[in-house]
Structure 1
Amino acid sequence: MTPAPAIELRSFTDLDAVRGDLLDVYAEVRAPLLHLANYAVSSFGERLDRHGSEDGFQAILAYAAGHPVGYVYGNRIEEGDRYWQRTDPSPGHKYTSHPVVALKEIGVRPAWRGIGVAQSIHDAFLSSRDEPYVTLMVNPAAGNGKIHALYRAWGYEDIGHSQPSPASPRLTVMIRPTTQQPTHV
């Protein structure tokens, strides 16, 4: 059996340096859903551009043999951010009274799933953050519930729901401390 090529993790705070790679990986990761308006590459590109211009933007990409195979990105959100305004029920002061990092997207090309790439890029992303909490939104139906369960295994807990846009599905909002050591699955 031939071992998989080594994964190199690279961190970016400038969207322009990595935008093409993010779009490329996204298109393969979300291929079965690209016909839906919310998941179209153009919709993702608009969200990515908005997120990339916000405070605390960071992306971590995994590369194998020089080719991008996975990514995670997010940015800092503050009290009053529309992220919190759309969360129902409103999250407690414990979470909103200080900056929190919002993990906006994570994806791994199908051929690279199941070998720890997602957890590696997730953990690398959190290791450089100084916010006390990380939050994310997940479609509870994604992967027949497996993605939601994976985030729970990584220490996230449900705190509410959100529908960021009319084209978006209803998402579960999850949160955990950034320094928590997730359970490896």
Structure 2
Amino acid sequence: MEAPRMTSAPAIELRSFTELDAVRGDLLDVYAEVRAPLLHLANYAVSSFGERLDRHGAEPGFQAVLAYEGEHPVGYAYGNRIEDGDRYWQRTNPAPSEKYTEHAAVALKEIGVRPAWRGTGVARRIHDALLASRDEPYVTLMVNEAAGDGKVHALYRSWGYEDIGHSQPSPASPRLTVMIRSTG
């Protein structure tokens, strides 16, 4: 049974984690519902996400912020610190400006909110909570421009992100747009 669609900002609690083990199960649970229509594609399979999550969770500066309604996780964002020369930047074409790579940046690797909580501001609250404790000057992310018929890309633009290039992180991945903004 589908949860009722929220019409106003739900009463949620944001929790921050720097150790993946404490929250891995909740991340996988929310991911599976968020990406349900795409799970049949190799790049979006829960097992593929779990492999990426384990790799990201072991990287420097890992942090996840999850939104909970009671003990029920409803959304998440996670990222880690990347330095000049990181494979993230190496796969970005054209190469990013030195102003973005001369200092470490936050790479927002995933953000997702269960369908019933979309459109309530939960994603923005999670995003902003993740950045609030970071000291890197920039945050970058990759987005599939086709996601949500372009609505996801437009949402990130409305949050202050700008396009700086493209990347294809793996052969199974779609071509993604690399976006960046200041963390402040």
TM-score by length of 1: 0.95
1:146 CA displacement: 0.2
Q: Could you list the structure 1 runs, at least 4 aligned residues long, displaced by more than 3 angstroms after superposition.
A: 1-5
Corresponding position: 1:71 with 2:76: yes
Corresponding position: 1:95 with 2:100: yes
Give the count of matched residue pairs: 179
For the aligned residues, what is the CA RMSD? Answer: 1.3
1:143 CA displacement: 0.2
C-alpha distance in structure 1 between counterparts of 2:9 and 2:122, whole Å: 12
C-alpha distance in structure 1 between counterparts of 2:149 and 2:129, whole Å: 27
C-alpha distance in structure 2 between counterparts of 1:87 and 1:55, whole Å: 20
1:104 maps to amino acid: K
Tell me if the contact between 1:104 and 1:136 (Cα under 8 Å) persists in the aligned partners. yes
C-alpha distance in structure 2 between counterparts of 1:4 and 1:174, whole Å: 27
Tell me if the contact between 2:89 and 2:95 (Cα under 8 Å) persists in the aligned partners. yes
Among residues 143, 159, 166, which one is paired with 1:154 in the alignment?
Answer: 159
* SS in structure 1 of the partner of residue 60 of structure 2: coil
Corresponding position: 1:116 with 2:116: no
Structure 2: gaps spanning 5 or more residues: 1-5
Among residues 12, 17, 27, which one is paired with 1:12 in the alignment?
Answer: 17
C-alpha distance in structure 1 between counterparts of 2:182 and 2:170, whole Å: 27
Corresponding position: 1:126 with 2:126: no
C-alpha distance in structure 2 between counterparts of 1:35 and 1:143, whole Å: 17
Corresponding position: 1:51 with 2:65: no
* SS in structure 2 of the partner of residue 107 of structure 1: strand
* SS in structure 1 of the partner of residue 93 of structure 2: coil
Per-residue CA shift, 1:17-53, capped at 9, x if unaligned?
0000000000000000000000000000000000000
Tell me if the contact between 1:72 and 1:122 (Cα under 8 Å) persists in the aligned partners. yes
In structure 2, relative to structure 1, the CA distance for the partners of 1:60 and 1:2 (3 Å cut) is: closer
Structure 1: gaps spanning 5 or more residues: 180-185
The one of the two structures with greater contact order (alpha-carbon pairs below 8 A, sep at least 6) is: 2
